[in-house]
Amino acid sequence: MIKRIPRILIAKPGLDGHDRGARIVASALRDAGMEVIYSGLHQTPEMIANTALQENVDAIGLSILSGAHMTIFPKVRALLKEKGLDDVLLFGGGVIPLEDAQKLKAEGIGGIFPPGSSIQSIVDYIKEALSKRD
């Protein structure tokens, strides 16, 4: 049976203007056979959730370097739930302290990838997490 190609939204919330890492991850996911939608810079949680709904994505990766991760991740998760997108995998990366990453995971956020994480570990995580949902 042919499975649908995973659709992944890579988003840059907030005022952070540095998107090199997000673009590298987006390219790697495309190279791994996934369909990737890159939102561009300065997205609000509402814009991210609306894009996820419109694009019918399987996962959302948030790239956050601004320090607002403890606000943005829960807000995006709540908006996804409001839109009936509870099953969308929400993961992320950026400058997120380990203690905060553990709190986010406890709140239902998926993998958190700090600077220096291997691209392959992100690809493998997404493939594995999405395969468990099939």
Q: Which residues pair with 35 in a beta bridge?
A: 7
Between the alpha carbon of residue 50 and those of residues 3, 59, 114, the distances in Å are 25, 13, 26
Task: Dig out the tokens for 103 from the structure.
Answer: 């709190």
Mean pLDDT for the stretch of residues 52-68:
96
Can you tell me whether residue 91 is helix, strand or coil? Answer: strand
* Helical packing angle, 20-31 and 119-131, nearest 10°: 60
Residue 1's pLDDT is 39
User: Which comes out higher in pLDDT, residue 18 or 100?
Assistant: 100
Tell me the β-bridge partners of 93. 63, 113
- Quick one: pLDDT at residue 26? 97
Name the pTM for this structure: 0.95
Q: What is the CATH number of domain 7-131?
A: 3.40.50.280
Helix (H) or strand (E) holding 119: helix 119-131
pLDDT of residue 15: 84
Domain ranges of the chain: 7-131
